[in-house]
């Protein structure tokens, strides 16, 4: 056991350590006040004569030497061709709002002139390109006459709905009904053998001009006269 003489009961070093610890603490910052207003970073708004106040013109920077900007004024594009995300063909026209396929400077959604011939497509609808309405008149044989008015499919100048002229005599078939072109109406005279005698009066197979049903030769005598064979002794 140590003697009391060797024991040091001095707390001065502990006080010094505690003092050093207090020096390491951060002192709170005390704000300083001033009578001068702080500069504002927010743009100030002023009513400007000559500019629409409803558009909220804004003064940029110092009001004494400011540039006044009117938000209602649309931005203008620089002259010349330009390309953007909506201008696929690079013609300077935004494709999503207006399309000019023929490049005539007029928006297609207004005139619909996709072929660029100067005639509006929805007005002309002309497959021949003559500027005439196909829905109103169609001239398939290009004879200058409307098909639905004449219906002259054979191009002979006669309206097919009125009459067909199969023999080419210039007369409609339903009027003269002369299909063989011999000058005789088929419903009145039919001369199948061409002997000039109407077939309805009789058929002369021997070419004598007399109908076979009038001249008969039942007994095969060969005379073929007008006397019946029953009374013909010769």
What string of H, E and C letters represents the secondary structure of 18-36? HHHHHHHCCCCCCCCCCCC
- For residues 52 and 153, the model is more confident at 153
- For residues 50 and 35, the model is more confident at 35
Q: Worst-scoring range by mean pLDDT, 41-50, 57-66, 89-98, 148-157?
A: 41-50
Is 60 exceeded by the pLDDT of residue 157?
yes
Going by their DSSP bridges, the two strands 58-60 and 67-69 should be labelled as antiparallel
What's the confidence (pLDDT) of residue 42?
45
Read off the pLDDT band of 90 (50, 70, 90): confident
Q: What angle do CA 198, 204, 209 make, to 5 degrees?
A: 70
Report the pLDDT averaged over residues 155-182: 64
What's the confidence (pLDDT) of residue 127?
62
* pLDDT, tens only, 178-208: 666 666 666 555 566 666 665 555 556 666 6
What's the confidence (pLDDT) of residue 169?
72
Domain ranges within the chain, ordered by starting residue: 93-136, 144-180, 189-219
């Amino acid at each position: 056991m140590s003697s009391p003489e060797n024991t040091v009961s001095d707390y001065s070093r502990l006080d010094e350590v505690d003092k050093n610890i207090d020096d390491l603490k951060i002192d709170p910052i005390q704000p300083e006040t001033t009578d001068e207003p702080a500069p504002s970073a927010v743009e100030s708004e002023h009513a400007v004569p000559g500019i629409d106040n409803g558009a909220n013109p804004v003064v940029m920077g110092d009001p004494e030497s400011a540039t006044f900007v009117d938000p209602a004024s649309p931005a203008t594009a620089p002259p010349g061709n330009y390309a953007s995300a909506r201008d696929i063909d690079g013609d300077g026209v935004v494709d999503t709002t207006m399309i000019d396929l023929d490049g005539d400077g007029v928006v297609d959604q207004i005139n619909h002139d996709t072929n660029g011939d100067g005639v509006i497509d929805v007005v002309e609808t002309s497959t021949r390109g003559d500027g005439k309405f196909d829905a109103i008149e169609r001239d398939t044989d290009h004879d200058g006459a409307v098909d639905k008015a004449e219906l002259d499919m054979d191009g002979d100048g006669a309206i097919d709905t009125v009459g067909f002229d199969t023999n080419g005599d210039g007369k409609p078939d339903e009027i003269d009904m002369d299909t063989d072109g011999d000058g005789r109406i088929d419903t009145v005279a039919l001369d199948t053998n061409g002997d000039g005698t109407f077939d309805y009066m009789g058929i002369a197979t021997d070419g004598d001009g007399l109908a076979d049903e009038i001249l008969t030769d039942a007994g095969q005598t060969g005379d073929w006269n007008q006397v019946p064979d029953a009374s013909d002794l010769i």
